[in-house]
Structure 1
Amino acid sequence: MLTAAQVLAENNFGDTRTGGLAGPMGLFLILLLATATILLIRNMNSRLRRLPDQFPQQTGPTDPTRADAAVVDPTDGTGGRDSSTPAPNGHQQHRNG
């Protein structure tokens, strides 16, 4: 006859030693992914810090065969900006440092 303590103490979960590597392997993968994420974030931050505050004005492609070709500004010198809302320049932008 089985007592209540023997029934509760009986192992009904099968062989528990086969999955013994799942916990350490999961921890290893989580630590590996966290390390890779930290290294990627550091790399991106260092690349962003090396960027200039303002990029030089880009000009369109010119045809080297035509010496008399004139560049026409379609915005009539206004640069396409609305003068009522000035865009921040490099000195007005604040960076996290």
Structure 2
Amino acid sequence: MRRGERGTRWWRAVGMDEQLHERIRDAVASVPPGTVATYGDVAALAGASTPRLVGRVLAEDGHDLPWHRVLRANGTPAPHLATEQLARLRAEGVLADGQRIDLRRFRWRPQ
């Protein structure tokens, strides 16, 4: 099965094409180790209409991406991923204050 093939139906339902899907994947892949981005940051970089599309792509086709570097707008991971996500970030030097990452300190700012 080609990458993205299984998710084609939901893409159409939300107005996503394969190019947008790949732009989202590329944006997530470009977040450097030791930094984080929000779903909104990735959506803006990829030209997606909503950060929810980023979450959808990561859920459906993000296993090979640094998904752990993408957080909610308040600097927290999704609750069902928090333990693994925070451990992966800690291994890269991104330290949490409780369950929250300080976006002022660790947020990636693409040039």
Higher strand share: 2
TM-score by length of 2: 0.16
Higher helix share: 2
TM-score by length of 1: 0.18
